């Protein structure tokens, strides 16, 4: 059993990384195995098992991803106001396990039901574990970016294992087994968090205080749990019918901004300036993720139809490479880049967040020129080089590492404590802009 620590004791750690970061690292790693394993299967499963047309499957995938990341804002909101980060993680994990189990039982008949549980569960889990990482550091701690870089490596270990294993098991053995594997690893994630959460001290506890008569306000918690279950039929309908996606986004987008503007009135001028800065970073990230997130949609189909299976002399499944090679590169280079940030910081030469974001976009543009260049290696059947395709992912990895973990870090730096979950949810929200058509990538 871990000793209960104060926040000051946690934040006064010596060395590069606090031990609590490693606990969150492993919990997030297994959750990302589940998420990316599921994500990597969706488009291929819809085309080959539900017999959807490719354009319809792409739209369906985009709608699913849109709802996943839209609900990170809602999950962050409930964590900030009612549940706290810990209960939000637990509830989100339970919902993701339930969704994966439903799909494991009968993925064809219960496809949208299982997806709906997973969508809501991810919304409660994802933004709040990232916010907890930020609370491990004092406001002026220069090791924060490095900590998020290491945490990001854990995310991608899970993405690498899940992205390759689940679709390979589904295509080779059984889709029921593939979805069942996602449920098993999500259970491991939840057990990891439950076993280590006492070491977090006061981090992540509910913001609600006990009532005057000494009774805790449990009914607020129950209202969130019941409400999130009650909305599942609505989510099922909206996800199954992609025309509802635009209506939902046109509604939640303005409502989200209005809510943020309302909350800003409660803070002083300096805090409002920080929130505005965070929103500007979020806007820029929209353009980055609109391209990057093609990995689960158009690039997934491009890998299935237009790539050979030869990678530096090895015979590999192109879809498995598409789902996992970016994570492989992140695992290797994220800790190294984190150490580089610390080394530069100690010498007063670390680039600021704006410069890091700019580098991210430069790498992104170079990567997509490389994706485009695959057309020059295509044969008469339109099948092109997996090596060049993988090189593009190698390049885009450095763009991701200059933007994504740094963005997670800056959200926790700039967000006032009562808005940390909401702002972290908004940071993930731009990933829903992944709707560029597959034909953009197909060689002529």
Could you tell me which residues come within 8 angstroms of residue 4 by beta carbon, excluding any fewer than 6 positions away? 198, 201
Note down pLDDT in tens along the chain; length 444 residues.
Answer: 455 667 776 777 776 788 889 999 999 999 999 988 888 788 888 888 888 888 888 778 777 877 887 788 888 889 888 899 999 999 999 999 999 999 999 999 999 999 999 999 998 998 888 889 888 888 778 788 888 888 988 888 888 888 888 988 998 899 999 999 999 999 999 999 999 888 888 888 888 764 444 455 778 889 999 999 999 998 888 888 777 777 777 777 788 888 888 989 888 999 999 999 989 988 888 888 878 877 766 787 888 888 998 898 888 888 878 877 887 898 899 888 888 888 888 888 888 888 999 999 999 999 999 999 999 998 888 889 999 999 999 999 999 999 988 888 888 888 888 888 888 877 876 654 443 333 323 333
**Which among 409, 427, 397, 417 is positioned nearest to 352, based on CA atoms?**
409
Are 341 and 350 spatial neighbours (Cβ–Cβ below 8 Å)? yes
> Could you give all domains of the chain from N- to C-terminal order, each with its CATH number?
16-440 (1.20.1250.20)
Which tokens hold the place of 227? 């409400």
Cα 103 to Cα 14, 22, 139, 220, 351: the distances in Å are 45, 30, 42, 30, 45
pTM, to two decimals? 0.78
Could you tell me which residues come within 8 angstroms of residue 82 by beta carbon, excluding any fewer than 6 positions away? 206, 207, 208, 220, 221, 224
141: left (phi over 0), alpha (psi -120 to 50) or beta: beta
């Amino acid at each position: 059993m871990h000793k209960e620590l104060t926040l000051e004791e946690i934040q006064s750690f010596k060395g590069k990384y606090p031990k609590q970061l490693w606990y969150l690292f492993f919990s997030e790693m297994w959750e990302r195995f589940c998420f990316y394993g599921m994500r990597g299967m969706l488009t291929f499963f819809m085309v080959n098992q539900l017999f959807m047309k490719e354009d319809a499957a792409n739209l369906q995938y985009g709608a699913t991803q849109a709802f996943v990341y839209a609900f990170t804002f809602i999950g962050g909101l409930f964590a900030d106001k009612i549940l706290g980060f810990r209960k939000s993680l637990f509830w989100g994990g339970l919902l993701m396990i339930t969704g994966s189990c439903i799909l494991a039982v009968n993925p064809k008949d219960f496809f949208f039901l299982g997806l709906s549980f997973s969508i809501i569960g991810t919304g409660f889990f994802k933004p709040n574990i990232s916010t907890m990482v930020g609370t491990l550091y004092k406001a002026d701690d220069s090791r924060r970016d490095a900590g998020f870089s290491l945490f990001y490596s854990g995310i991608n270990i899970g993405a690498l294992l899940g992205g390759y294993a689940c679709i390979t098991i589904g295509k080779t053995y059984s889709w029921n087994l593939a979805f069942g594997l996602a449920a098993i690893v999500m259970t491991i994630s939840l057990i990891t968090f439950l076993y280590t959460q006492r070491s977090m001290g006061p981090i992540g506890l509910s913001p609600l205080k006990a009532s005057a008569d000494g009774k805790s306000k449990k009914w607020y918690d129950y209202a969130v749990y019941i409400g999130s279950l009650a909305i599942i039929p609505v989510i099922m309908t909206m996800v199954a019918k992609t025309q509802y996606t635009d209506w939902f986004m046109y509604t939640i987008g303005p409502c989200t901004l209005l809510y943020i503007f309302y909350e800003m009135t409660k803070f002083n001028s300096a805090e409002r300036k920080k929130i505005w800065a965070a929103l500007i970073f979020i806007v820029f990230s929209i353009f980055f993720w609109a391209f990057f997130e093609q990995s689960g949609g158009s690039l997934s189909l491009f890998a299935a139809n237009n790539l050979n299976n030869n990678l530096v002399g090895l015979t590999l499944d192109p879809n498995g490479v598409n789902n996992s090679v970016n994570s492989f590169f992140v695992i290797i280079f994220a800790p190294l880049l984190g150490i580089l940030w610390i080394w530069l910081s100690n010498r007063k030469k670390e680039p600021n967040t704006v410069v890091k974001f700019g580098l991210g976009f430069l790498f992104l543009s170079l990567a997509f020129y490389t994706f485009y260049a695959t057309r020059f290696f295509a044969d008469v059947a339109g099948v092109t080089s997996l090596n060049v395709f993988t090189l593009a992912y190698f390049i885009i990895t450095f763009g991701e590492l200059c933007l994504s973990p740094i963005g997670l870090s800056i959200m926790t730096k700039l967000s006032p404590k009562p808005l940390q979950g909401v702002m972290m949810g908004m940071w993930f929200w731009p990933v829903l802009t992944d709707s560029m058509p597959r034909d953009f990538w197909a060689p002529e």
